[in-house]
Homo-oligomer: A and B are copies of this chain.
């Protein structure tokens, strides 16, 4: 981030026509964005949403309430403009790109060995890297992948410790019995891949999935291009947290868009130290919670960059 732009944004915030701090988290949000964009009075012109889709061998273990073919069906729904993320992208003026990743070649069942080879994982990372538009000034990454809350739970557990059950949630709607079975599957996957879990990238390939790797690649590219990121829910945050685990501070260019209703998300946000902007019980994925938070950022930046100062408005500063 640009320290000079940050200081200038903070100085501007202090003289806007409002009591100090009265816009709460909107103020810090605008200053954070200004710092990453290197502009003390920034606008938001080209927010980009990228959704990655992948299929998971682990689905064979019965971890999802929906069948695997729904991944491809939902990709078609994205293309036709019928999904939630299409409506949210339009509402908040964001572009939307969708990248299906070898849907007819699911990852391997991670209870039997690594979900991906090194080459497969790198290919997905690099698809993510390449998916970010050079001129984007905000990035949201989302996902679609039947079974991917299981991968995300395993990845979060591998990276941040604790028991499998701490990270395992109901996904699209499991009952108690299926939830407990899912935690057992996560445990078995972690045992089977134990030798790979020592480093974050190893964990990503061992129990992650192509769309998780692609999200991680896109978030890394955004860091290099100084494009601020709004993180979505549990799966997105699990993928992003690979970098935070590898190097604390690696996600300083990201804010948490929302707290998902999926079990482990609150714990994961605490692990990476990011309080969510919204908490509305969403658990859809697709980048939907982060897309909704784009509206909050737009409001924050409109106030920061558009408001009059006390001097300009002739208002007495308390």
Q: Say yes or no: A292 contacts B302, CB within 8 Å.
A: no
Q: Does A25 contact B (CB under 8 A)?
A: yes
Q: Say yes or no: A308 contacts B66, CB within 8 Å.
A: no
Q: Say yes or no: B292 contacts A69, CB within 8 Å.
A: no
Q: Does A281 contact B (CB under 8 A)?
A: yes
Q: Does A250 contact B (CB under 8 A)?
A: no
When each residue 23-38 of chain A gets 1 if its CB lies under 8 Å from chain B and 0 otherwise, what string results?
A: 1111000000000000
Q: Does A84 contact B (CB under 8 A)?
A: yes
Known: A73-B316, A76-B313. A91 touches B298 (CB 8 A): yes
CB contact list, A275-318 vs B, under 8 A: 277-284, 288, 291-292, 295-296, 298-299, 302-303, 306-308, 312-316, 318
Q: Does A82 contact B (CB under 8 A)?
A: yes
Q: Does A173 contact B (CB under 8 A)?
A: yes
The answer for the CA separation of A243 and B25 in the assembled complex, in Å, is 31
Known: A24-B283, A173-B318, A302-B91. A83 touches B19 (CB 8 A): no
A-B CB contact pairs (8 Å), 19 listed: A17-B82, A18-B83, A19-B173, A20-B173, A21-B283, A23-B284, A25-B280, A66-B316, A67-B318, A70-B318, A73-B314, A76-B314, A82-B313, A84-B307, A88-B303, A91-B302, A92-B299, A292-B296, A295-B298
